[in-house]
Structure 1
Amino acid sequence: MIPLSKPDLTMLERKYILEVLDTGQLSFGEKINRFENLFRQQFEMEYAVAVNSGTSALHLAVKSLGLKAGDEVLTTPYSFIASANCLLYEGVKPVFVDIDPKTLNMNTAKMEELITAKTKAILVVHVFGQPCDMDEVLRIATKYNLAIIEDACEAIGAKWKGKQVGTFGDAGIFAFYPNKQITTGEGGILITNNESIYQVAASLRNQGRNIKSTWLEHERLGYNYRMSELQAAVGVAQMERLNEILKKRKQVAERYLELLKKLKLPVKTPLISNNCEMSWFVFVVILPENIDRQKMIDDLSQQGVQSKPYFPSIHLQPSYRREFDYERGLFPVSEAMSDRTLAIPFYSNLSLNTQKNVIEALSKALRNMNKVNQNKE
């Protein structure tokens, strides 16, 4: 089976893990400081707070900005569920903005009509590593005095008009699950230029201890969101190899695009804006409307190719339907894309021959589906 994703690990990651084991210090040691410093340097930001997941980092951003029950935040329904869940943790209502059918990012033209007196922030998601229209996000945030949280969990290294995503808002969030561009196994990080956000986030991740607190002195109600030294060791190696990894993933993506173009398959890929520099997270194809996606997935699996739907619309998740009585039809573009998007194998060391096999399998599955549809007619 050709897997959907695979982390890019080398002897350098092993070397740094062994260094940690040799010290015997498995939490809050040299590696986590180095990991945070690498992020500060990469993004030219004042502060970085490494944590145990991207979800935790998003939650800390919400808490550190003082968002609370009764507040509303504009965000996208087409994302991994954590980008909305982090608001619900604090009783904040996610106000979903439908997406652009070409880029699959939040449709910024629909944002202003949803702003009320309760709106306090915009939580931007750079879906699949493509930056959202940050010119419009910044204009609207400035006009209505809204905070900005950038969920760049899928977009490390991506740029909007030459500026790295994660650096536009009050806080930028990155995640390091094994399918991400770089990984720490599990992990996340918050970056910011706001000292208050940094102080609160750093305290909250460590059971509410302030930076200068004694070990058993807790200034506020906090969480155990700490990143371990072993995770940070992998992260240091990955950050040192970031440009190499991003370059390889770009090459893999470009080969896929060329193969799809050559075979003229009846699928589309998200439009890449001229203002964007992509950081490739997954490779998603948009299937024709008449295709049974689950049968496509089953067919590809039988051919030895793993694939998955990406993403289900958040508002149609069972927990959200129970909480908010959401129904189909509220965000039609997101729902349509949720029904038609399919992720195929994508990782930095994917070979050209394997990619050819994937596209050939995709082509065969599409032909099989067309035969099924013709027989129905």
Structure 2
Amino acid sequence: MADAHDREPRRAERPLPLPPVPTDRDLSGRSFGERELNLLREVLASGALNSNGGSFVPRFEREFAHVLGSPHAIACSSGSLAVQGCLAALDLPSGSEIVTSPITDFGAIAAILFAGLRPRFCDVDPETLMPTEASILAAVTPATTAVVVTYLFGRAFDIRALVDTLAKRGIDVVEDAAQALGARIEGHVPGTVGALGAFSFQQSKHITSGEGGAIVASTDTLARRARLFVNKAWPYGEPDPDHEFIAPNGRLTELQAAVLVAQLERLESFIEQRRATARCFAHALAGRTDRLRIPAEPPGHRYSHWRLHLVASPELDLDTLAERARHAGLPCQAHYVGRPAFDLRAMREAGFRERVEDFPGVKQGLANSLVVPWNERIDEELATLLGATLGDLAGECGA
């Protein structure tokens, strides 16, 4: 009989169901405290609840622009409206094409259509579910006037060369960075590399005011038009004002801005916590299975882990795994959005006829993707337990 010191260490028993996992749907997974409450009291005491008469919206815009290193930030009511505002700022010809990813929130596609433009879809890298420079350029036609690059899961990719290439053809780049706040690529900030960038502060995002968004602009001209778009195209404070074009009311409120000011102060700590726990999860997962993995972070990149995106090997039955994981108390979603944007009913009814088979990266990427919700209230111990649990379940779920 082997000496006790020579034995393999026993794996910790995983409790089933798992302890409660903090969720970004409520306070268990969101970080609100006295700072938010005190700033909200300031707003209420002022009596000025909208951005036209208050101080917190412009304060948040200044501080957000500073954090990103952008010359301009314009607060607005949602990330979807931010994408639409970016396109409005470019003042593109009606009916022209916008190259974009079909793996995105539908609000980003609706923004293109509401702007009187037509999405033209590109393929994606199945490893990341994001477009590549090559897939974007392959989709560009003479009718293309802009590209909307979509970042996912707190990750981005380097678009500097792409921006330069497209600029020579008169095509601007908008970055949909709704899921990428806090990410970095070799010191560059996603959302600030192209002409304009769009951010979201919806309930699940890295910082939140329930709903909300921001546009960042690279020039004074683009910033002015984006700000007009958010304010019904009415130039507040300018002499002889008039509505300059058709635009909605997309303003952020002072109450939302006060919460965001407080949240922004802790953004870096939120990101570092997400990164630390993601490492714990990935290490524990790798120790239990080789069927499921988190794509490696390339040198010079910093992921901010809005969600954990995992790539499965083909023999893994993801639907069964996701069902068993949820039953054990580990929330997750197989195949991410499930279907590409062009395959949604509203798009089919609008006349879009793209076939999934013509987008091999989209087809493979969705088939092999598992997404785990993540937030800054998950600690290292729980992250390790979640990774180990998912790894053990993956070993039991062959195709």
Give the alignment's TM-score, normalised by structure 2: 0.87
Q: Quick check: 2:153–2:305 contact (8 Å CA) kept in 1?
A: yes
Shift in CA distance, 356/252, structure 1 to aligned 2, threshold 3 Å: closer
Query: Structure 1 residue 217: deviation in Å?
Result: 5.2
* Residue equivalent to 2:139: 114
Query: Structure 1 residue 47: deviation in Å?
Result: 1.7
Larger Rg: 2
| Matching residue within 14, 24, 44 for 1:21 | 44
Query: Structure 1 residue 112: deviation in Å?
Result: 2.6
Q: Quick check: 2:98–2:117 contact (8 Å CA) kept in 1?
A: yes
The reply on whether 1:316 has 2:335 as its aligned counterpart is no
* Residue equivalent to 2:219: 194
| Matching residue within 8, 11, 35 for 1:12 | 35
Q: Quick check: 1:68–1:90 contact (8 Å CA) kept in 2?
A: no
Worse-superposed segment, 231-240 or 269-278: 269-278
| 1:150 aligned counterpart, secondary structure | strand
d(CA) in 2 for partners of 1:301 and 1:156?
A: 27
| Matching residue within 190, 195, 212 for 1:165 | 190
Worse-superposed segment, 187-196 or 216-225: 216-225
Query: Structure 1 residue 106: deviation in Å?
Result: 0.6
Q: Matches of residues 17-166 of structure 1 in structure 2 within 5 Å?
A: 17-28=40-51, 29-166=54-191
d(CA) in 2 for partners of 1:92 and 1:59?
A: 10
| Matching residue within 322, 329, 333 for 1:304 | 329
Shift in CA distance, 69/217, structure 1 to aligned 2, threshold 3 Å: closer
Q: Structure 2 unaligned runs (5+)? A: 1-19
> C-alpha deviations, 1:100-126, integer Å up to 9, x for none?
223332121233332221111111112
Q: CA RMSD in A?
A: 2.1
Shift in CA distance, 216/121, structure 1 to aligned 2, threshold 3 Å: closer
Q: Quick check: 2:106–2:341 contact (8 Å CA) kept in 1?
A: yes
Q: Indicate the percent of aligned positions where both proteins have the same amino acid.
A: 25
| 1:8 aligned counterpart, secondary structure | coil
**Higher helix proportion (structure 1 or 2):** 1
d(CA) in 2 for partners of 1:139 and 1:276?
A: 21
Q: Quick check: 2:100–2:149 contact (8 Å CA) kept in 1?
A: yes
d(CA) in 1 for partners of 2:61 and 2:194?
A: 18
The reply on whether 1:212 has 2:231 as its aligned counterpart is no
* Residue equivalent to 1:330: 358
Query: Structure 1 residue 215: deviation in Å?
Result: 12
d(CA) in 1 for partners of 2:249 and 2:264?
A: 24
> C-alpha deviations, 1:27-73, integer Å up to 9, x for none?
11111111001012112322211001000011011111012432112
d(CA) in 2 for partners of 1:222 and 1:215?
A: 19
* Residue equivalent to 1:369: 397
> C-alpha deviations, 1:350-375, integer Å up to 9, x for none?
022322332243234323323xx4xx
> C-alpha deviations, 1:257-289, integer Å up to 9, x for none?
211222234102234332422222111112232
> C-alpha deviations, 1:238-268, integer Å up to 9, x for none?
1111111111111111111211222234102
d(CA) in 2 for partners of 1:93 and 1:163?
A: 30
Q: Quick check: 1:4–1:306 contact (8 Å CA) kept in 2?
A: no
Q: Quick check: 1:31–1:229 contact (8 Å CA) kept in 2?
A: yes
The letter for the 2-side match of 1:97 is C
Query: Structure 1 residue 326: deviation in Å?
Result: 2.3
